[in-house]
Amino acid sequence: MKLKIGYRTLKTALGAGISIFIAQALNLEFYASAAILTILCISVSRKGSLRAAWQRFAACMIGLAYSFILLELVGYQPWTLALILILFIPTVVRLNVKEGITTSTVIMLHVYTLGTVSWAIFINEFLLIVIGIGVALIMNAYMPNIERELRKHQRKIEANFRTILRELACYVRTGEREWDGREIPETADEIQKAKSIAMRNINNHFLRNEDQYYHYFKMRERQFDILERIMPFLSSLDDTVVQSDKIADLLEELSEAVSPVNTVSYFQGRIQDIRSYFEARELPKTQKEFETRSALYYVIHELEEYLRMKESLYEKQNKKEKSREH
């Protein structure tokens, strides 16, 4: 079995070693605890690391205050520690720093183990906290560029979209069902993975709350929902109906145009032409013709929405670019 060591593993291991080295060099008591803090504060994103660092620092300070006061007042007994935790845990939960419960408990146990309170102990614990959290923040300052990974998911999703649209066009035109449809669950999975990575990319930038990739994948997710919705209606179309060829042609053209490039206006014109063509045809004379015509109109409506989603994405991008210019 191939052993894979990721960048986060390397950062965690290196950070833990550095924390212990610094704490040990300063002759701090319980110096190994600095490594625990470092390990717990290293996150998958810079924002996540900063949030974890703040929560653990705040919780540790609260824990020190509780342990210093109650252990001195009540005594260094196991039930005193239980009382501290009974009061401490609701406090950190209320203050929304509950991620620091584990690390602050370790700090409180240090005070309990030493059996006394002094400024020297406070400074010792404070330095352990600062070293552990500080090293984690420094290690987490490096984040690999995930643009390549995002583009890889983008290409895969677009390739699957092309396949899905092409196969739908083929089915509408010929009625053949040779396609196994594996791209459908594959695309759903790819979109979720891509969104997760794009969100991580956002969290790696402190001054960025939006990401073009995230919006792009959200747009593809909504478009994919539309493709799933129209599939049952496309399957109900009669391939002998001449209007079906119009839909098949449109789907085939859409499959060839799947890309980040904005081709919405052209296809909106194509849909309008098809709609005009449908309106110029004779009214349905049979139940079957009526159902087919209804399905065609529904598909056209959904494909308009499919295009509108991409148009909306480009409108947002244009507004953002204009606001930057001003």
- CA-nearest of 112, 111, 137 to 37 is 137
Task: Check whether residue 112 and residue 254 sit in a common domain.
Answer: no
Q: How many alpha carbons fall within 13 Å on the CB side of residue 200?
A: 16
Task: Check whether residue 115 and residue 169 sit in a common domain.
Answer: no
* DSSP assignment string, 36-48: HHHHHH--SSHHH
Give pLDDT, residue 20.
94
Q: What is the pLDDT of residues 32-48, one digit of tens each?
A: 999 988 888 887 677 77
**How far from 196 is each of 7, 142, 301, CA to CA, in Å?**
18, 19, 30
Number of separate domains in the chain = 2
More confident residue, 286 or 71: 71
Range in 39-53, 64-78, 88-102, 173-187 with the lowest mean pLDDT? 39-53
Domain boundary residue among 95, 112, 139? 139
**How far from 274 is each of 45, 137, 160, 165, 271, CA to CA, in Å?**
48, 58, 25, 18, 5
pLDDT confidence band for 240 (50 / 70 / 90): low
**H or E element that contains 92:** helix 78-94
User: Is 111 domain-assigned?
Assistant: yes
User: Is 1 domain-assigned?
Assistant: no
Range in 70-79, 214-223, 269-278 with the lowest mean pLDDT? 269-278
Give pLDDT, residue 210.
55
Give pLDDT, residue 102.
87
N- to C-terminal Cα distance for the chain?
A: 56
Q: What is the mean pLDDT of residues 264-277?
A: 82
- CATH code for position 260: 1.20.120.940
Give pLDDT, residue 326.
47
103 touches 56 (CB < 8 A): yes
The conformational region for residue 116 under phi > 0 = left, psi -120 to 50 = alpha, else beta, is beta
Task: Check whether residue 167 and residue 289 sit in a common domain.
Answer: yes
More confident residue, 184 or 294: 184
Task: Check whether residue 104 and residue 41 sit in a common domain.
Answer: yes
Q: What is the pLDDT of residues 103-152, one digit of tens each?
A: 899 899 999 998 888 899 999 999 999 999 999 888 887 766 777 888 89
Mean pLDDT score of the chain, rounded to an integer? 83
User: Is 326 domain-assigned?
Assistant: no
Task: Check whether residue 118 and residue 234 sit in a common domain.
Answer: no
Task: Check whether residue 171 and residue 43 sit in a common domain.
Answer: no
Q: What is the mean pLDDT of residues 57-71?
A: 91
Task: Check whether residue 85 and residue 215 sit in a common domain.
Answer: no
Task: Check whether residue 63 and residue 158 sit in a common domain.
Answer: no
49 touches 146 (CB < 8 A): no
Q: What is the mean pLDDT of residues 67-95?
A: 91
Task: Check whether residue 134 and residue 183 sit in a common domain.
Answer: no
Does pLDDT of 322 surpass 60?
no
Give pLDDT, residue 280.
76
Model-level pTM greater than 0.85?
A: no
Does pLDDT of 238 surpass 70?
no
The crossing angle, in degrees rounded to 10, of helices 212-235 and 183-203 is 160
**Residue 275 sits in which domain range?**
147-321
Task: Check whether residue 135 and residue 165 sit in a common domain.
Answer: no
Task: Check whether residue 282 and residue 166 sit in a common domain.
Answer: yes
Residue with tokens 């065609």: 296
User: Is 78 domain-assigned?
Assistant: yes
Q: Please give the structure tokens belonging to residue 7.
A: 């960048």
d(CA 2, CA 292) in angstroms, rounded, equals 55
Domain boundary residue among 77, 105, 139? 139
Q: What is the mean pLDDT of residues 88-92?
A: 92
Task: Check whether residue 87 and residue 164 sit in a common domain.
Answer: no
Domain boundary residue among 115, 139, 163? 139
Give pLDDT, residue 215.
86
User: Is 95 domain-assigned?
Assistant: yes
**H or E element that contains 296:** helix 287-325
pLDDT confidence band for 313 (50 / 70 / 90): confident
